[in-house]
Amino acid sequence: MKTIYFDNNATTKVAEEVLEEIKPLFCELYGNPSSMHTFGGQMGRRIRQAREQIAALLACDPSEIMFTSGGTESDNTAIKGTLAAQPHKRKIITTRVEHPAVLAVCRDLENHGYTVVELGVDRDGRLDFEELVEQIDDNTALVTIMYANNETGVVFPIDKIAKLVAGKGAVFHTDAVQVVGKIPLNLSDSNIDLLSLSGHKLHAPKGVGILYVRKGTRLSPFMLGGHQEAGRRAGTENVPGIVGLGKACELAAENLEAENSKVKYLRDKLEGAILEKCPDCRLNGDSENRLPNTSNISFEYIEGEAILLMLDKYGICASSGSACTSGSLEPSHVLRAMGVPFTAAHGSIRFSLSRYNTEEEVDYTIEKLPPIINQLRELSPFVTK
């Protein structure tokens, strides 16, 4: 059975071009870039090249790129490193809809004497900018707000937020793992101090990411034990991962616009057809300011895990904010923060597309999904015919 992969916000396929690029780095060119011999030392050039490829996509200086093991490490480093570098400030501002890699770190810091403010969102998942204006003060060390939400795809006005934060003298970090490669970024023309990126969300392998650190941003190192990354992040470089990420960024830069108009077209077609063909369903999140690849739809009166398993039978991969998929008993913290009613939150499905999806796959899903919804509704005691 063919796999139809609509779960690209979870992880993505490694691009063939990326795989080709990193294949020789396991058994042939496996040297350590820190070594004195040519065999190892030559890898330093490959890392430099990757740094330049990434900097080109982000429109920043290569020296501002720091390699990490992925989005979670980048987020941890950004938050803890910033606080350690300015011990006199004790307040952090974030949002209720962050990824756990940010939210759990902030909540843990409350145990260490920090005040954490979690900004709310409205029914469409939009941030209240005025609340941020009210909350930010001289004691605020860090504001960390995601660029776009992984569950709904809602994009926050990050440039505007970063400008405000810079004006107040606090550090601004954004978790942009869902954004890079999907919408264009220009860091040279923004006030973002720190930005997290994860390789496996844009067709590079798992286990590599970066933290962009704007020149002049004070950050205490998180990992000690080596001189790598100019002493900012110790540990032998994940050379294949880094080279792969460089290539993936190069591909993203080349195709960004063309791909996203195609991906957006497919997403809109899928979403439009589902909303039209299935009664009692609703779109979660601001439909305007949204990633081009993400669609989060709630099907009322039925439960998400059941929908996913039925889709799985046809090889269609998606994800759900329902309680049952995670093993917890409550639905997604993002949907709850948005005030999505329980009747809809339990039945939410996220489709997240990539450039490798085809119109044929979208058409196939449009054909298979409505009968699944009907079938489950026939089982539901809340639907009476």
Q: Which residues sit at the interface with another protein, rule CB under 8 A?
A: 107-108, 110-111, 115-118, 301-306, 309-310, 313, 322-325, 327-331, 342-343, 346, 378-382
Sheet holding 294-299, edge to edge: 281-283, 294-299, 348-352, 319-320
Q: Which residues are catalytic?
A: 324
Phi, psi dihedral angles at 216 (to 5 degrees) = 90, -5
Single-letter code of the amino acid located at 85: A
Shortest spacing between CB 141 and another protein, in angstroms: 15
User: How many whole angstroms separate alpha carbon 347 and alpha carbon 307?
Assistant: 8
Helix/strand/coil percent split, the chain, to 5: 45, 15, 40
Contact between residue 338 and residue 124 where contact means Cβ atoms under 8 Å apart: yes
Shorter beta-carbon distance to another protein: residue 16 or 330:
330
Shortest spacing between CB 280 and another protein, in angstroms: 13
Shorter beta-carbon distance to another protein: residue 80 or 247:
80
Helix, strand, or coil here: 173? strand
Task: Please name which of 57, 44, 49, 55 lies closest in space to residue 21, comparing C-alpha atoms.
Answer: 49
Shorter beta-carbon distance to another protein: residue 93 or 187:
93
Shortest spacing between CB 316 and another protein, in angstroms: 14
Shortest spacing between CB 153 and another protein, in angstroms: 23
Shortest spacing between CB 100 and another protein, in angstroms: 11
DSSP secondary structure letters along 194-254: EEEEEGGGTTS-SS-EEEEE-TT-----SS-SS-TGGGTS-S---HHHHHHHHHHHHHHHH
Helix, strand, or coil here: 74? helix
Q: Report how far apart the first and last C-alpha atoms of the chain are (Å, whole number).
A: 35
User: How many whole angstroms separate alpha carbon 19 and alpha carbon 348?
Assistant: 34
Shortest spacing between CB 370 and another protein, in angstroms: 17
Shorter beta-carbon distance to another protein: residue 189 or 382:
382
Alpha carbon separation from 163 to 39, 81, 86, 144 (Å, rounded)? 46, 21, 20, 13
Shorter beta-carbon distance to another protein: residue 208 or 311:
311
Shorter beta-carbon distance to another protein: residue 225 or 327:
327
Q: Alpha helix locations (H) across 314-358?
A: 323-326, 333-337, 342-345
